Amino acid sequence: MQTPIQVTFRSMAHSEALSTHLAHRAEQLEQFFDRIVSCHVVVELEGHHHHRGDRYRFSINVGLPGHEILVNHRPPDDRALENAYAAADRAFDDAERQLEDWVRRGRHHRQEADTSLL
């Protein structure tokens, strides 16, 4: 990654352990594409529910050359007691899928361009 991951916490205290987990997940994105320019993650505590636990929303912005991947993960209403790590993993899973699709589309376009030159 060209710039270090940026993590912003909203409506909650900074967590070094969660920041480390997010940095590790961001590094894993480079397995799919090694020229990631930046990654900004916003962690927001949507609210505390006595019976259902804390609810976390994650926004991930992955900067690529000439493109951005945006993920907004809001926990579904039926998911009880989803902790911050599980919510982060779900958001990064979405980012991985989008990144894989983007890489695959780019590879497909390059192959079409190569065959049209023949």
Residue 76 domain-assigned (yes or no): yes
Residue 1 domain-assigned (yes or no): no
CB 73 within 8 A of CB 94: yes
Q: Would you state the pLDDT for residue 6?
A: 97
Alpha carbon of 108 to those of 29, 68, 94, 101, 113: distances in Å? 20, 19, 21, 10, 9
Residue 35 domain-assigned (yes or no): yes
Mean pLDDT confidence for 13-21: 97
Mean pLDDT confidence for 36-44: 97
Q: Would you state the pLDDT for residue 100?
A: 95
Residue 30 domain-assigned (yes or no): yes
Residue 66 domain-assigned (yes or no): yes
CATH classification of the domain holding 47: 3.30.160.100
**Domain housing 76:** 6-116
pLDDT at 35 over 70: yes
In single-letter form, the type of residue at position 62 comes to V
Whole-prediction pTM value? 0.84
Dihedrals phi, psi of 5, to nearest 5 degrees = -60, 145
pLDDT bucket at 67, cuts 50 / 70 / 90 = very high
Number of structural domains the chain divides into? 1
Mean pLDDT confidence for 81-89: 86
